[in-house]
Amino acid sequence: MAQAHKLPKLKVSEDKRFLVKEDGSPFFYLADTGWELFHRLSREEAVKYLQNRADRKYNVIQAVALAELEGLTDPNAHGDTPLVNNDPTTPATTPGNNPNDAAQYDYWDHVDYIVEQAAARGIYIAMLPTWGDKWNKKWGIGPVVFTPANAEVYGEFLGRRYKDKSIIWVLGGDRNPETEEHKTVIRAMAKGLKKGDGGNHLMTFHPTGGNTSATWFHEDTWLDFNMQQNGHCADTAVWERLSKDRDRAPTKPVMDGEPIYEDHPICFKPKEMGYSGDYEVRKLAYWDVFSGAHGHTYGNHAVWQMYAPNRKPINGPQGFWYEAINRPGASQMQYVRALIESRPFLIRVPGQDTLASDAGTGADRVQATRGSDGSYLFVYSASGKPFTVQMDKISGRRAKAQWYDPRTGKVEQAGMHPTTGTREFTPPSNGKGNDWVLVLDDEARKFPAPGANFKQPK
């Protein structure tokens, strides 16, 4: 199928901290977790989902080609399975791709359709070639079908098929390598992908909760950026985990590819800890990004599994996917992206050195990021806790202060202040759910309102 929509090619920035488009302009990776997208949604449902995410400013969807939930044997919404006899070297493809002819329209034609519909809406597909239990069945339903030899063949098939599509490759699939053979399988798949697509796409690895791709593959040349999974607890110290990967050599961008999902049982303990909401997902988003992540991934517990009537629920989803796509946290992620894109992007660094008060931990954590030239500073107070800023970290004679509301993207003015000494700032409200971002700008730079459109310099 010819691709009518081709998004700009992505690459790693010159300083190896961010992702950029082929013209050098910055790319903020804002993803939704749609693991079962290809496997469980029909063409019409996929379009509904993709349009909803595009409307909320997502530009990446993370989805799995060989899906977790019996993805080899349970047919997709159009009655097709992906492989012949569960053999990765023989994808189940048929001549033609006419969606009105079941003899022509196969599993991979459906994947093609979704990739194209995503691109038409400005969305890249972060495609996992397979879920992890297909190569390392520590838990899950398997079966294990990959070997080093067939992993390379399958990777080449995918790479060739999607060579000119708007794709980011994500190896792994919620499993960690436990043996040398496991690592060999992943490296063989990466080799096949590059052989097929000519190195045309970025590549990373998705590990299990509490882990990072850097543990096994940081020095591998195919790994363009590190992905962490910081899991499904509410107040994980992600700032510590992100900083460890940022400090590694060689330098590579890093991000959290799976923090706590909205409407997920916190730490998998619903009776003791309840379920997460928009506040929990906001905290992780701002902590991650302000700690130096190049982007962020959101997820909803019903959406990742595309839960719907007559389907077996996994870990107690709180509604159906077509309802859950409208949950508040899903809409609020766009304000993270808008804020970051409203100031010079490629000079952004972690900013804890600007705080003159205790940064705290848990729900009281205060996390900062800033422009390396002193032109702006963002400080996120997760519970509205007051904090003190070293004002001389801001360039110019005066700093313009504004409060940015992570729930709405709205702005409240907070005065002009000299860039000398220290100053305490008290957010407009405090307590659970009352998180705020202080924006301090060099007045002379005349930046637009936080979250407003801003043309990024190349």
- Rounded-to-integer distance, Cα 288 and Cα 259, Å: 9
As a whole number of angstroms, the distance between CA 332 and CA 408 comes to 7
Comparing CA positions, the residue from 332, 335, 443 lying closest to residue 395 is 443
302-to-1, 33, 307, 317 alpha-carbon distances in Å: 31, 10, 5, 5
Burial class (CB in 10 A: 0-12, 13-18, 19+), 9: middle
Phi/psi at 236 (5° precision): -60, 140
For residue 323, with 0-12 CB atoms within 10 Å meaning exposed, 13-18 middle and 19 or more buried, which class applies?
middle
Distance CA 66, CA 382 (A): 38
- Is the pLDDT at 151 greater than 80? The verdict is yes
DSSP 407: T
Rounded CA separation 19/100 (Å)? 39
User: Which pLDDT score is estimated for 16?
Assistant: 98
DSSP-derived 3-state class of residue 49:
helix
The mean pLDDT of 166-183, rounded to a whole number, is 97
State residue 190's pLDDT score: 98
Q: Are 457 and 347 in contact (CB under 8 A)?
A: no
Least confident of 27-36, 83-92, 139-148, 223-232: 139-148
pLDDT tens by residue, 285-339: 999 999 999 999 999 999 999 999 999 999 999 999 999 999 999 999 999 999 9
The arithmetic mean of pLDDT across residues 277-281, rounded, is 98
Q: What is the DSSP string of 179-201?
A: SHHHHHHHHHHHHHHHHHHTT-S
Both tokens of 391, joined, read 């004002």
DSSP single-letter state for residue 262: B
Q: Which two tokens stand for residue 121?
A: 């809406």
With bands split at pLDDT 50, 70 and 90, how would you rate the model's confidence at 279?
very high
Provide the Cα torsion 244, 258, 28, 321; round to 10°.
Answer: -170
Is it the case that residue 458 has pLDDT exceeding 90? Answer: no
Residue type, position 163, single letter: K
In this prediction, residue 2 carries a pLDDT of 45
For residue 343, pLDDT over 80 is answered with yes
DSSP state string for 105-131: --HHHHHHHHHHHHHHTT-EEEEEEE-
Q: Would you tell me how many other CB atoms lie within 10 Å of the CB of residue 145?
A: 21
- State the pLDDT confidence band at 1, using cuts at 50, 70 and 90: very low
Question: What band does 4 get if pLDDT is binned at 50, 70 and 90?
Answer: low
pLDDT above 90: residue 453: no
Instruction: Please report which confidence band the pLDDT of residue 457 belongs to, taking 50, 70 and 90 as the band edges.
Output: low
The type of residue at 202 is L
State the pairing for strand pair 60-66/19-21.
unpaired
Mean pLDDT, residues 138-164: 96
> Residues 356-380: what's their mean pLDDT?
97
Please tell me whether the peptide bond between 350 and the residue prior to it is cis, using omega within 30 degrees of 0. no
Mode of pairing for the β-strands spanning 19-21 and 10-12: antiparallel
pTM listed for this prediction = 0.97
Q: How far apart are CA 368 and CA 353, in angstroms?
A: 8
DSSP string, 334-372: HHHHHHHHTS-STTEEE-GGGB-S----GGG-EEEEEET
Orientation of helix 238-246 relative to helix 278-290, angle to 10°: 30
Domains and CATH numbers, the chain: 10-341 (3.20.20.80), 348-445 (2.60.40)
**How many Cα neighbours within 13 Å face the side chain of 122?**
14
